[in-house]
Homo-oligomer: A and B are copies of this chain.
Amino acid sequence: MVRENDIRENEVAVDTPEPVDARLTYIGRISTPWTSRLTCPRQERLDGPTCRIEVFEPWTQTLKGIEEFERLEVIYWLDRSRRDLVLQSPGNNGAVLGTFSIRSPVRPNPIGTSNVQLESVDGNVLAVRGLDCLDGTPLLDLKPDRNLFKPIAPPQPGDFETGDAHMVVRHCQKK
């Protein structure tokens, strides 16, 4: 079962400090067809099976207006992942890559992201396609797809900064 939690040839684990810098709340739960890391899709597909995202109280009001977006960004906690591998061998062949060069669920902070197709909203439950996580995965956040969302707040100085333009802007403001 080396694919599940063991370490493969040339992989490197490090002693990591206790994770104490910030704390998360599970605000919902994701239901998918997959109960083992060995059967999950390696990568999500928008024509994949319909999955279910349930949002818990007291956060259900956060969903107001979400049905306007065809696609969402889903952020979740890969709660069954080890966190200490810095070099990994996804091919299990002795060749290793840094954890930040692959999209493995094993990460120092095991946060998963998916861009999904929103199929329906029924109260506090969303039906979506495009997930690849395990059944029961804790939900951390939902956002409208960045390409579909237009900011509503009034414009801010940073909106107009390109290249090293901010230096110029700051200089002008000082005058």
A contact set with B: CB distance below 8 Å: 3, 12, 14-27, 33-34, 38-45, 47-50, 55, 58-66, 68-69, 72-73, 75, 77, 79, 86-87, 90-92, 96-103, 107-109, 111, 113, 115, 132, 138, 140-144, 146, 149, 151-159, 161-167, 170
Chain B residue nearest in CB terms to A68:
B101
Task: Please measure, in the bound complex, the distance between the C-alpha atom of A25 and the C-alpha atom of B144, giving whole angstroms.
Answer: 26
**Contact between chains at B138 and A34 (CB < 8 Å):** no
Q: Is the CB of A161 within 8 A of B33?
A: yes
How many copies make up the complex?
Answer: 2
How many whole Å from A51's CB to the nearest CB in chain B?
10
Residue contact A144 to B33, C-beta cutoff 8 Å: no
Query: Knowing A61-B86, A97-B65, A98-B65 touch, does A103 contact B149 (C-beta < 8 A)?
Result: yes
Question: Would B27 and A108 count as touching, CB distance under 8 A?
Answer: yes
What chain B residues lie within 8 Å of A163 (beta carbons)?
47-50
User: Is the pair A40, B165 in contact by a Cβ cutoff of 8 Å?
Assistant: no
Q: Which single residue of chain B is at the shortest CB-CB distance from A65?
A: B101
Taking the closest CB of chain B, its distance from the CB of A80, in whole angstroms, is 12
A143 CB → nearest B CB, Å: 5
Known: A109-B140, A151-B42, A152-B91. A101 touches B22 (CB 8 A): no
Q: Which of B18, B63, B111 contacts A140 (CB 8 A)?
A: B111
Q: A62-B99, A98-B65 are in contact. Are A26 and B33 (CB under 8 A)?
A: no
